[in-house]
Amino acid sequence: REAQGRRDTGAPSASTRDTKTTPAMNSADTTAADESADAPTGFDVLAALHADDPGAKKSIAKEFARLQRTTARLMRQNHALTSTNESLASEVRAHAEHKRSLEARVEELRDYDKTLQNLRAEYASALHLVNARDEEIASMRGDLDDLKALYRQQVSDLISEIET
């Protein structure tokens, strides 16, 4: 009764334990958790010891074995989760390094883009100047052709005058 009174005063009973599974728990772990719901609580074990119950040692041994299984299961879960955590942390570091290298490459490409824009502007300016020079040259060639024609005419006129 003393143990029953303690359980009613706010200590969780075996039937009210939360036996939700985590992603790392497998079906064997879930079964062990379900079986532990019917196991005696620590209060039950203490009550059995104080009552000089002949099965107290057996009850304590069963409780101890259950606690060892639970501890082993939790240690396996902890190990699995730690391993997963380390693996994910390693992946995060690798992705962060890859991101940094990509950001550096993006910055490099932006610099190349600026250089390309500057070169295109210089090319456009140079092309404009070349086109202007080509127009000047074409105009000068036309003027030269006109002058040649004029000089030929004058030479022809002079030769005609001399012959007459």
pLDDT 10s digits, 118-146:
999 999 999 999 999 999 999 999 999 99
Q: Which amino acid is at 119?
A: L
**CA-to-CA distance for 21 and 40, rounded, in angstroms?**
21
The position carrying tokens 């007459």 is 164
pLDDT of residue 61: 84
Alpha-carbon gap, residue 25 to 129, rounded angstroms? 77
Q: Which residues of the chain have pLDDT under 70?
A: 1-54
Kindly report the pTM of this predicted structure.
0.44
Q: What pLDDT does 15 receive?
A: 40
pLDDT of 58 reads: 82
DSSP H or E run through 133: helix 56-163
pLDDT of amino acid 57: 76
